[in-house]
Amino acid sequence: MRDEIGAASRECRRVMPASAVPDQSHAGAVLPRDRFDPALDTLALSMIRLTPGAATTPVRTTANNIYACVSGEGETTVGDEHFVWQRGDVLVAPAWDRHVHRSSAGAVLFRVSDEPISTSILSSAISLRAFCADFVGSDSSSSAT
């Protein structure tokens, strides 16, 4: 277990893979292509790099987000509240609260989100609907004969 934690820590320090692409939910920031860690069914982990002078577009999501500043400094507005942060600080953006991050000198934020829970629930609901439609469809066709 200790080796796994060490490997995860080294990976977080590396910050960005070469395959990083801009993420739509945090425009102006860069996130890894695969935002969900398959080892965690209920949490998404990602790194956000804010280049000097960058700001994300305001984000409003059904997921709860926790951000930890890995390096640099900046500011975040969550709803009507304004927070100034630096390395080591942690802040929370609750579900459905619009939030935006800014950094004049550049920063890296570590993001933990419960987004996979919503994705899983939606996927389950779609599967259940398809199952029910098939069941009702097969049941009604058998009663017609």
Q: What is the pLDDT of residues 24-36, one digit of tens each?
A: 445 445 554 445 5
Task: Convert the pLDDT of each residue in 17-66 to its tens digit.
Answer: 333 334 444 544 555 444 555 557 788 888 999 999 999 999 998 889 99
Tell me the C-alpha distance between 128 and 140, whole Å: 18
Spans of all domains in the chain: 2-115
Rounded to two decimals, the pTM is 0.63
Q: The domain 2-115 belongs to what CATH superfamily? A: Jelly Rolls (2.60.120.10)
Cα–Cα–Cα angle for 81, 82, 88, nearest 5°? Answer: 120
